[in-house]
Amino acid sequence: MDPVVLGRWLDERELLPGTGEPEVSVLGEGHSNLTFLVRRGGGELVLRRPPRGPLLPTAHDVVREARVIELLQAAGDSVPVPAVAGVCTDDSVLGVPFYVMQRAPGVVIRGELPAFMTGPSGHRARRDIGAALPTALGAIHSVDWRPFVEAGIGRPAGYLERQLRRWVGQREGIQSAVAAAGGTARELPDYDAVRDWLREQVPAESEPAVVHGDYKLDNVIVAPTGDGARIAAVVDWEMATVGDPRADLGYLLSFWAEPGEEFAMAGLAMVHEGFPSRAEVVELWERSTERVAGDMRWFVALAVWKLAILLEANYHRWLAGLSDDPFYESLEAGVPALLARAREVSGA
């Protein structure tokens, strides 16, 4: 990140007050696209760019991500998203494409709840967010998907089969990249078992919808409202497309822990009093979309399996010295644990 060059790009578009070099700092703890806070002259923007190193095919397309947000803005205000302020496709500026957007107020929850959601006084805020997550997901799934297809973002049919092909291809891409570097990707037998089960059990697709692709608690920005809380923005639209909305619901459920449960993808926040059960999450989503979820086992297994593949790519980037993110080191055991969870869910 060269702040001098970035400053010139901002000057040309009058995107921040003042002139010259902005202050740039890392924002958040994401492990995919990189997010920075850019400040100057009392103003601030959030910048998104791909990570360093070789990338999986179709991954980390921030220009496409910005287009998704713009289409959601054009559809109305039913889905809260930060406004895109500018997009750069010229690699000579930062070496990669990037975009900047307005900063949404609030916090991102990872593991521990913020103070306004803790204790007895935070019960309403927990209840609000617990209900808002599936309801906001339903709002996403209720947006007209046709403009997205017209913009080249997704296709209305064949989504589940494409998901399987894509993620099998991602796994094979990891193996090829490691082989090209003179190594051998590790064996993951649970990956193979779940892949085969998913292929054999593909459900009939439901009516298409805009899907987020990575919808979970730490991809929304939460803001307090008096004695309650609200979702100020849904973020991280990198994997958004058009497809079967139950895939999003299954992904959300795969992170949704209930009291007494311990598994690889458990979200710590969900065990607190006030958050709904998984069954209630499904009911809230059904009410918001006027759809029937049906048996969600295939979609939850798909969610855990494909996250394991994505994280395996990050693990190999860490092994190759292309990332110093300490989270990636934990994936030596974390990825096999996720795949074991996917196999448990599926019964493969």
The model's pTM is 0.89
Residues 67 and 130 in one domain: no
pLDDT-based confidence at 203, cuts 50/70/90? Answer: very high
Same domain, residue pair 148 and 289: yes
Instruction: Annotate 49-107 with DSSP letters as a single string.
Output: EPPSS---TTTT-HHHHHHHHHHHHHT-SSS--PPEEEEE--HHHHSS-EEEEPPPSSB
Tell me the two tokens of residue 100.
């900047």
270 domain residue, yes or no: yes
How many domains does the structure of the chain reveal?
2
Residues 41 and 159 in one domain: no
Q: Are residues 30 and 149 in the same domain?
A: no
57 pLDDT band, cuts 50/70/90, is very low
The residue with greater pLDDT, 133 or 52, is 133
Here the CATH number for the domain that contains residue 158 is: 3.90.1200.10
Predicted local distance difference test score (pLDDT) of residue 58: 52
Whether residue 106 lies inside any domain: the answer is no
Tell me the pLDDT tens digit for each residue of 280-337.
999 999 999 999 999 999 999 999 999 999 899 889 888 888 777 888 888 999 999 9
**Domain final position from 59, 79, 101:** 101
Residues 6+ apart with CB under 8 A from 195: 164, 168, 171, 305
| Judgement on whether residues 139 and 265 belong to the same structural domain of the protein | yes
- Asked if residue 227 and residue 136 are part of one domain, the reply reads yes
**Domain limits at 22?**
3-101
Coil, strand or helix: which one is 129?
helix
The pLDDT value recorded for residue 33 is 80
5 burial type by CB count under 10 A (0-12 exposed, 13-18 middle, 19+ buried): middle
* CA 57/CA 238 separation, integer angstroms: 13
